[in-house]
Structure 1
Amino acid sequence: MRDTDHNKEILIIGGGIAGLSTGIYAQKNGYQATILEMHDKPGGQLTAWVRNGYRFDYCLHWLVGTDHGTFNDIWWETGALDEDTIVINHDTRVKIKDEVHGDFYIYNDLDQWEAYLIDMAPEDQTAIEKMCQMMRDSDRLDQFEDAPGLRGISDYFQQVVSAGTFLLTLFRYGKKTTQELVDHLGFKNEKLLNFFHTFFGGQDFSAMGFLMMLGWAHAKNAGYLQGGSFEMAQRIERKFQGLGGKFLFNHRVIEILVENDRAIGVKLADGTVLKADYVISACDGHTALYEMLKAQYLPAQIKQAYDTWPLFSPLVMIGFGINDQIISECHSMSYIRKESRMIGRTPVREYSIWNRSMYDEVFAPAGKTTLLMQFESPWELWEHMEGTEYLDEKEAIRKAAIALLEEQYPGISNKIETIDIATPKTTVRYTGVYKGAYEGFLPSKDVLNGLPMELEGLENFMMVGQWLFPGGGLPPSAQSGKWAIQKLVNQEQKDFVVM
C-alpha cells in the first residue's frame, strides 16, 4: 500500500458514517484514505435492505442539521445533502396510544404543541410555556466547529453569545434528568406527568437531550432525508470515491499493528497485513480497544466508561411488506399497554410502528406499504442464543408481531407478503456494535462528556465515531471524522480544507 512518492496514507477501520466522514476530509486535505469495511456495503448502521421489493430501513428517521448550523455544514461538505436532496419536516412527531391514559401527541411545531398541552392541562400553563420556550431557545446553541484542543478564546466567546438566554438553561439543567426538569418546573397534571415519565423519564434521560431534540425539530433543523438511510449512505460514498478515496469491502480487521508505541497498520482476518502512516478506528469502540489493541493504551477514563456507563438497549425490528396501501393515524405510532405482553422471550409493554410509505415512496412498490415494528430487547437474552434456539425465537417473534399488528390493523394478516426480522444479533453480526447498543452510551445527567479521540502513549492513531459521545448518532459521528483530520493537519502545520 505504501508509496513514498504519494501523499501520506490513512487506514480507516469501518465504513459507517464516521469512517466515511474521516475519509472525505482526509482526501480533501491531501491524504490517501482507504476504508476497510467488514460488510459488503457502506454506511454501517446507516443502512436499509430490500426483501421482495419492500425496503426496510434500520436507521434514519430524522437528522440534526438539515437546515442550518455546524452539522448542516458537515452534511453539505460530505455529500449527505446536495441540491437534489429533499428534506421532509413532519408536522407530528409521534402519536402515542396508551391503554390506561389515552392518546397523546408530540408535535414538531412547538406553538402547536404548547397550545395542545395547555388545552390538556390548563393548570400547568406556566410550566408548559417555560418548557416550550426553553426548547425554542435551544436551537441557538450550536456545536463547535473545531476539534477539542484546537479552539481559541474567541470560539468559546462566540458560543456564549450565540447561546443567548439558553445559556442559563444549560447551567441550570445541564446535569439534570428530564424527570428532574419536569419536577422543577412544577407540572401537576397526572396524564402529562405520565407521558413525560414514560417517554423521557426512564434511565435518567438527559434534560438537555429532551429540550434540544424538540427544539431542533421546531426550527426545522431535524428533518428526514427522502430516500432514507440507503440513499444517504450512497451519496456520501460517492463523494468519498469521487475524491479518490479507496473502499475495501469484506475486509475485517482483527488487529491494529503497533511498533515502538506507534500505529503502523492493521492485520485482516485472512492474515493480510496492510500498513500506512496513520490508523483511525471508526468501528465499534469496544472492539477496537479491547480486541484490536488488546486492551493496551487503555486509560482509566475509557475503562470506567465501558465498565459503568449505561448503554442503549438493543432493538428488535420487524419489517412487514403489505399488499395494500395503508393510511395510518400517524406515520409514527407508539403503543403503551396496561400489562406487558410476551413477544418471543421479551416482555414488551411499549412498542412502535412506523408507516414510512406514507411519506416516502422508496419503501414499497406502488399501491403497497412497508410497516416497521420495533421494541427494546435486552442483550443478555440474545448473547448466547444460536442455531435452532435462535430460529425458534425469531419464529415466536414473527407470530406475536403479526398478532399485535392485527390488533391495530384488523384484517391485515391476509395482506402480508413479506416479513423480515432484525434482532440484536443481526445488528452485531453486520456492524460489530458492542452488546447491540445501536447508539452507544445512553446520555444521562452523569454521562454527558465525551471520551478522548487519542490514546496516551500511542502515536499515529485516533478513534472516531459515536462511542466517543454519549447519545451517539449520525451528527457527532460525522463531526468526529472531521475533527480527526483537523488534528492531523494541525500536527503537520497545514491549513485545514473543507471544500
Structure 2
Amino acid sequence: MNKTVNIIGSGISGLTAGCYLQMCGFKTEIFEKHSNSGGLCTSWKRNGYIINLSAHWIIGTDTGSSFYKMWSELIDMKSIKFHNHDLKIDIQLNTNKDKNDSNIFHLYSNLKKFEKYLIDLSPEDERTIRQFTKHIRLLQKFDLPPIDKKQSLFPTLFNNLKKIKYLEILPIVYKWSRQTNIEFSKKFKSPFISEAFSLLYDEEKVKMLVFALPLAYMDNKSAGCPIGGSLVFTKKLEEKYISLGGKINFNADVKKILVDKNKAIGLVYNNEQVNSSDIILSTADWHFTFFNLLNKKYINKDIEELSQLKKYKVFFSSMLFSIGVNKDLGYLPHFFRFPLKKEIISPDGTLYKRLEIKISNFDEVIVPKGKTLIAVNLYTRNGDYWINLRRTDFELYNKSKNNFCDLIIDAIESYIGKIKADIDMIDVATPATIQRYTNSWKGSTQGWLPSKNFLSSTTCAFNLKEVKNFYYSSHWSTAGGGLPVVIKNSRDVTKLICKNNKVEFVY
C-alpha cells in the first residue's frame, strides 16, 4: 500500500513537492489555508487589470538551464508564453553622465549588446568589460545547479561544484559569491559605469553572483516573464499535480501537526478536523511551522539561532503599489529607476531616495488595451509595523497606506508627467497583505537573505531528528529564496523521503 503524505501549503513548494511525490508513488493531499494555490507566486484582478505580486521573471523558462530541465520534469514549459525583455532596466544615475550627456544607464539583457554598449561608453575599460562578459559566458556553459540523478543528496551548490567538470568555473563562482557590486564597480575607470554598477541595487551591497547568474539566463532567453501573470504559471503546476492523482483542500487552515511518541502522524485543520498520514511535509512558512504548528516543542539550537536572526537576516518585505492609468504609456521603458527630487519617508520609518517603476504594457493579458499598469515595489525591513498596525488599528492602517500611496503617485508624476486625472485603479499591498495570505514571517517575500558566504549550506534542514516522518521544505530552506530554489528543494526533499522509505526516485 502506498504511503500517505499530508502536505501543508499549496505554494510552489507544495505543488512541486506534491508532483514529485505522486510521481514516486506516494499518495499525497495538500492543505491550503487560502482559496487559491500559489502562495507568494500569485496575481489578482482589479478593475480589468491583473496585479502580479511576483514572478516578474522565472529562471529556467527555456533550454540552456538546469532549471528548465527541472521545470520540464513537471510541466510543459512550451505551453506557457513567456516574454523576454531586451532591456533589463534603465537606471538614472545621481551624479555622472555618459559621453552623450545622458544620465541614463541601460542594462541590456542581451550580453553581446550590453558588452558593446559598455565598451562604446568607455573604451579604456574594455579589458575589464570583456573579462566580465567572458566569465558570464563561461557560466552559461554549465548547468547551474547541477542536477544529481542519484539518490544521494548534494545540499549545497559548493559541494556540487566539486565535481570535476565544474572545476573550471569554481574560481569565478567562489570570487563572485564574495565580491559585491559595490566592490566590483571600483574596477571601472569610467565614473559613469562605476556609479551605475554601484546603483544596481540602489546602493545596497549585493553579491556579484546574484547579478551575473540571472544575466546569464536572460541572455539565453531562459528567464522570461509569464504572460498573464504569476497565477498562469501556478495553475500549470496545480493542473499537473491534480492530473497525477493529488488532492488539494482549499480553505483548510492547518492549526497543528500531530506528533505521537516523537513521530508525526497527522494534522489538525479548521474546526478540529483531523487528517492522519504516514508522513507530514510542511511547505508553509518556516516560523509558523516550528513555532505554531509544532507548538515550539522541537526548537533545537539551529532553529533558535534562526529565530533570533543570529545566522541570517530575513529577506525584505515590500509595499506594492499598483496603479491603473486610462492612458497608453507604452513609450516608457518597462522597468526604470530614478532618484527622487524629494526623499520619501514611509509610515514604517523607511527612507527612500530612489524609486523603481514597472510598466506592464508588453502584456496585453494583464493590462486592458489602451491603458497602462504602473507598479512600484518598495522594500522594507520593518514589515512588522504594517502587520501590527493592521491588527491593532485597521482604520489608521488604511489611512496610512493610502496617504503613502498619494506620495508615491506625486513622485511618479514628477518623473513621467501628469497621470492623476487618468487613474482608474489603485491597489496597495503591504507586508500585512503578504503575511495574512501566506503566513510569511515578518511579511518576507523570499525567506532569508544570503549571508556573507553566498555558498553556505541550507538554512533549514529537511527533517528533524527529534520527529520521525516529519519533513520541511520551502524557500526558507535555502537563503535567497525564489522559484528556482523552491523546485530544487522540492526535488531534494522528495529524494530524501524516497531514500528514507526505500522508494525509487523517478528522476
**TM-score (ref. length: structure 2):** 0.90
Residue aligning to 2:71: 75
Give ranges in structure 1 of 5+ residues lacking alignment. 1-5
Residue aligning to 1:190: 191
8 Å CA contact 1:317, 1:373 repeated in 2: yes
* Alpha-carbon distance, 1:124 to partner: 2.3
Q: 1:15 aligns with which of 1, 10, 27?
A: 10
Residue aligning to 2:99: none
The aligned runs of 1:70-469 (5 Å cut-off) are 70-79=66-75, 81-101=76-96, 102-139=103-140, 140-146=142-148, 150-151=152-153, 160-163=163-166, 165-183=168-186, 186-200=187-201, 202-306=203-307, 307-308=309-310, 309-337=312-340, 339-344=342-347, 346-357=350-361, 359-377=362-380, 378-386=382-390, 387-449=394-456, 450-451=458-459, 452-469=461-478
Give ranges in structure 2 of 5+ residues lacking alignment. 97-102
* Residues 260-311 of structure 1: per-residue CA shift (max 9 Å, x gap): 1111111224222221110001011111112212333333234323422122
Determine the C-alpha separation between the residues in 2 that align with 1:485 and 1:436: 27
Q: 1:37 aligns with which of 14, 32, 41?
A: 32
Determine the C-alpha separation between the residues in 1 that align with 2:339 and 2:448: 25
* Residues 401-427 of structure 1: per-residue CA shift (max 9 Å, x gap): 221222233232111111111011111
* Alpha-carbon distance, 1:99 to partner: 4.5
Which deviates the most, 156-165 or 91-100?
156-165
* Alpha-carbon distance, 1:110 to partner: 1.4
* Residues 378-406 of structure 1: per-residue CA shift (max 9 Å, x gap): 32432421311101112202211221222
Determine the C-alpha separation between the residues in 1 that align with 2:202 and 2:417: 33
* Residues 187-236 of structure 1: per-residue CA shift (max 9 Å, x gap): 23323222222224855422222221211212222122222201111111
Determine the C-alpha separation between the residues in 2 that align with 1:103 and 1:468: 38
Going from structure 1 to structure 2, the CA distance change for 1:302 and 1:220 (only over 3 Å counts) comes to farther
The aligned runs of 1:32-71 (5 Å cut-off) are 32-68=27-63, 69-71=65-67
Q: Residue 389 of structure 2: SS of its match in structure 1?
A: coil
* Residues 127-186 of structure 1: per-residue CA shift (max 9 Å, x gap): 22212222222222421324997159xx97886454363222123343333334444xx3
Residue aligning to 1:480: 489
Determine the C-alpha separation between the residues in 2 that align with 1:134 and 1:39: 44
Determine the C-alpha separation between the residues in 2 that align with 1:199 and 1:147: 36
Q: 2:23 aligns with which of 20, 24, 28?
A: 28
RMSD: 2.3
Q: How many residues align?
A: 487
* Residues 31-71 of structure 1: per-residue CA shift (max 9 Å, x gap): 11111111110000110000111110001111111123331
Determine the C-alpha separation between the residues in 1 that align with 2:79 and 2:153: 34
8 Å CA contact 1:264, 1:279 repeated in 2: yes
Determine the C-alpha separation between the residues in 2 that align with 1:483 and 1:179: 34
8 Å CA contact 1:176, 1:445 repeated in 2: no
Matched, 1:492 2:501: yes
Write the letter of the residue equivalent to 2:463. E
Q: Residue 248 of structure 2: SS of its match in structure 1?
A: strand
Determine the C-alpha separation between the residues in 2 that align with 1:337 and 1:250: 42
Going from structure 1 to structure 2, the CA distance change for 1:214 and 1:157 (only over 3 Å counts) comes to closer
Write the letter of the residue equivalent to 2:351. P
8 Å CA contact 1:66, 1:72 repeated in 2: yes
Going from structure 1 to structure 2, the CA distance change for 1:13 and 1:245 (only over 3 Å counts) comes to same
Residue aligning to 1:3: none
8 Å CA contact 1:289, 1:298 repeated in 2: yes
**TM-score (ref. length: structure 1):** 0.91
Determine the C-alpha separation between the residues in 2 that align with 1:448 and 1:436: 25
Going from structure 1 to structure 2, the CA distance change for 1:337 and 1:463 (only over 3 Å counts) comes to same
Determine the C-alpha separation between the residues in 2 that align with 1:165 and 1:147: 22
Q: Residue 375 of structure 1: SS of its match in structure 2?
A: strand
* Residues 56-106 of structure 1: per-residue CA shift (max 9 Å, x gap): 000111111112333112212222x44422232211000112353421111
8 Å CA contact 2:24, 2:506 repeated in 1: yes
Determine the C-alpha separation between the residues in 2 that align with 1:206 and 1:289: 30
Q: Residue 337 of structure 1: SS of its match in structure 2?
A: strand
* Residues 432-479 of structure 1: per-residue CA shift (max 9 Å, x gap): 111111011112423542132112222101111110111100111122
Q: Residue 234 of structure 1: SS of its match in structure 2?
A: helix
Q: Residue 199 of structure 2: SS of its match in structure 1?
A: helix
